[in-house]
Amino acid sequence: MGTLCVPKPSDRKAYLDKEYTNQDGSNEVLKSSFVGSTYYAAIKVQRRGEATDHASIEYTIAAVVKTSCSQGEFCYKSMDETMGPALSQCPASILKLLSPLEELEQLGVVVGVGLKYASELRERCLKHAESKKQRVRLQNGDRIKLPYTVRFVGGLECDTFTKVDLPRKRNVFRPDGSSSLVRLQARHLDDAVVLA
């Protein structure tokens, strides 16, 4: 599970899609997406039988690839869902394409700890997708209150904020009683209550 670095391609997604697709059709990317710097993909794998009388098997698993770019290089670390990646923002549209874990276990593709890791990853990703759906869409001027106080650099502490729209910026708020602007993380917004 090492990291591979190559000269930076013009399109990172297209590069990884090509890397995961084989010319003989044994691997095919059904759908892929970047969430931040992490690449997620549903990969359809086709294994031919070892003998002519053995049937080929087909299944779809998730690929999770951590990426980074620096100094003209594109570095990536390839994993699949059975390796226990801690990342959990795979889009639901990709999760829907994956083969059921029971089927993968019956085929002998995923067993033991790998099965546990894959199950945990899928569960975390579904939970993340649900929390993202339920998150309130805030408009300019909306006021929110958190059940706890957030402390910022410079000693500012606040639990009530007003949403401010700035071009090309997200999650920007003005703390009550202050003229400064702050950014709140998504986890804070999950706990927020919108005030009337």
Query: Mean pLDDT, 10 residues at a time, over the chain (196 residues)?
Result: 88 94 88 93 85 77 93 93 87 93 87 90 89 80 90 88 88 90 83 80
How many structural domains compose the chain?
Answer: 2
Which pLDDT score is estimated for 68? 94
Is residue 117 domain-shared with residue 163, that is, in the same domain?
no
Considering the domain architecture, whether residues 89 and 118 belong to the same structural domain is answered as: yes
Last residue of a domain, one of 81, 112, 134: 134
Same domain, yes or no: 70 and 165: no
Q: Quickly tell me which residue has 């931040």 as its tokens.
A: 36
CA separation for the pair 39, 15 (Å, rounded): 11
pLDDT of residue 49: 65
Contact 75, 69 (CB under 8 A): yes
Which residue is listed with tokens 């997604």?
A: 13
**Cα 45 to chain center, whole Å?**
21
Same domain, yes or no: 80 and 149:
no
- The predicted pLDDT at position 51 comes to 58
Q: What is the model's pLDDT at position 56?
A: 81
- Nearest Cα to 81, choosing from 96, 67, 101? 101
Looking at the fold, whether 130 and 147 belong to one and the same domain comes out as no
Structure tokens at 63: 């690929």
Q: What predicted TM-score, i.e. pTM, was given to this entire model?
A: 0.74
The C-alpha atoms of residue 23 and residue 76 are separated, in whole angstroms, by: 21
pLDDT on residue 112: 87
Amino acid at residue number 119: S
Six-digit token string for 124: 């975390």
Pair 78, 113 in one domain? yes
Strand partners, 172: 183
Look up the domain containing 165 and give its range: 143-195
The first and second tokens of residue 58, run together, are 């087909």
- What pLDDT is stored for residue 193 in this prediction? 85
> 123 and 52: one domain?
yes
